[in-house]
Structure 1
């Protein structure tokens, strides 16, 4: 198993679960904390998500970064325990697309408004994907009093892919950052697959470190770690920390390499009227 070295000494982090998220603004977890055993139907569902990740279209707003992505919206009604996917806008190339707003936390694209290809319709009923999304929602509801408001979910599949030695795939933004939004905005990451790559280190730092690189002497890093096993993940309470994922490069094995993740952003729905 690959071991990542923190950019500033030993910065392993506060631990796992909701208590760490409540106390520190971020937490780490894996399949065991999720209560998921990747056998039988769960293994088949994971294979289905990986199949979609392998065919993700290139990021239309990041040429040359070797980043591939799809994105959709869902809404959760706590008083009904009802999760519903929001239909995308018809598109001649991708079938449907969904608006994606990068907040002011992306210094490279402030207030940029974009559209991204939707998650395939068939994937939205994938039992493992729905289970992960509902688990994330449960964590947020246990931390914030949101039982009387719809909860908005942005569901993102992102693959960083490299085809040959020397190639680099870069996440976005390529610095410590915050996603923007209200004080009730949370982001969850679940590793879907990691094959024949190095790098991809996750770093959590203070809000004041946003815009810096983790190795910058002014960056105040809380934790640095590398997701290596299926469903390894972490959560951040956006306004309390900044975060970053480093670039990936080809590993020592033969063939291409990739790192695929499911990212779920959660925030209370804000009326526009």
Structure 2
């Protein structure tokens, strides 16, 4: 057995934007989609709200737990009550530097910060009220509710704004964790990603693999890869059913044009609220 060749599967053509929404999540545990599936027109009636979201990404503070990685982020919690169709942001904790902050932890599933409770700067109040941002959150929630009977439980949302930014040649920006991973949580945990902007960078490939590949790099011969793709257009995105797959995004590097480059993405984690009493 020890001399067996590693079994590595790769289906790079699978999971294109047409394989979208709840069907892909139900059948394979992952799906891709774009602005068309979301019913959003990035360069039309939604352009103003998208521009304001981009402005929010441009001023993200550095990740306090990853100095030197050129990663910038904010994070907040929201809760959805299905019986009221009500989506509300949860207030953060006052902080002298950032105004308010919110606790963030991926438990034991994050190999870089196992069991570590992190405190991250909140999403500003003005951005929380952005109509397009709220539409994206509600679209994600609708996909989960179509798959799981959660109509009698609050749905918990962790909302992440993450920008990988580089100033020029030779720099790279790294996501976290920098390996195939799962986000942790129950069998009803889902993660959605929406590309906000991508300018003057290379890299940033997304990879979806089996749960057993978590902790490996995509190039590892033991990694069992489902698909790889790169988000390029505004509001390109994907979703994963966390316990059924692992996922990864590669570093970004400066492109060929002069000046800085960036990849900005909205990440939404959804799971049923778990009572603590």
Sort the TM-score into its range (normalised by shorter chain). over 0.9
Any idea what SS the aligned residue of 2:60 has?
coil
Q: Number of residues paired by the alignment?
A: 267
Quote the residue 2:182 is aligned against.
Answer: 178
- Alpha-carbon distance between aligned partners in 2 of 1:13 and 1:104, rounded to the nearest angstrom: 30
Give per-residue Cα distances to partners, 1:57-95, cap 9 Å, x unaligned: 000000010000000000000000000000000000000
- Alpha-carbon distance between aligned partners in 1 of 2:252 and 2:178, rounded to the nearest angstrom: 12
Within a 5 Å distance, the mapping from 1:131-210 to structure 2 comes to 131-210=135-214
- Alpha-carbon distance between aligned partners in 2 of 1:68 and 1:136, rounded to the nearest angstrom: 23
Check if 1:92 corresponds to 2:114. no
Any idea what SS the aligned residue of 1:239 has?
helix
Within a 5 Å distance, the mapping from 1:46-125 to structure 2 comes to 46-125=50-129
- Indicate conservation of the 8 Å contact 1:8/1:215, yes or no: no
Quote the residue 1:215 is aligned against.
Answer: 219
Any idea what SS the aligned residue of 2:141 has?
helix
Check if 1:128 corresponds to 2:132. yes
Quote the residue 1:3 is aligned against.
Answer: none
Deviation of the 1:105 alpha carbon: 1.5
Check if 1:11 corresponds to 2:12. yes
Deviation of the 1:9 alpha carbon: 5.6
Any idea what SS the aligned residue of 1:136 has?
helix
- Indicate conservation of the 8 Å contact 2:63/2:73, yes or no: yes
- Alpha-carbon distance between aligned partners in 1 of 2:148 and 2:174, rounded to the nearest angstrom: 33
TM-score (norm 1): 0.96
Runs of 5+ consecutive residues of structure 2 not aligned to the other structure: 1-7
- Alpha-carbon distance between aligned partners in 1 of 2:87 and 2:104, rounded to the nearest angstrom: 20
- Alpha-carbon distance between aligned partners in 1 of 2:11 and 2:244, rounded to the nearest angstrom: 21
Greater than 3 Å deviation, 4+ residue runs: 7-10
- Indicate conservation of the 8 Å contact 2:10/2:227, yes or no: no
- Alpha-carbon distance between aligned partners in 2 of 1:20 and 1:240, rounded to the nearest angstrom: 12
Q: CA RMSD in A?
A: 1.1
- Indicate conservation of the 8 Å contact 2:10/2:224, yes or no: no
- Indicate conservation of the 8 Å contact 1:209/1:219, yes or no: yes
Deviation of the 1:37 alpha carbon: 1.2
- Alpha-carbon distance between aligned partners in 2 of 1:157 and 1:207, rounded to the nearest angstrom: 25
Deviation of the 1:139 alpha carbon: 0.2
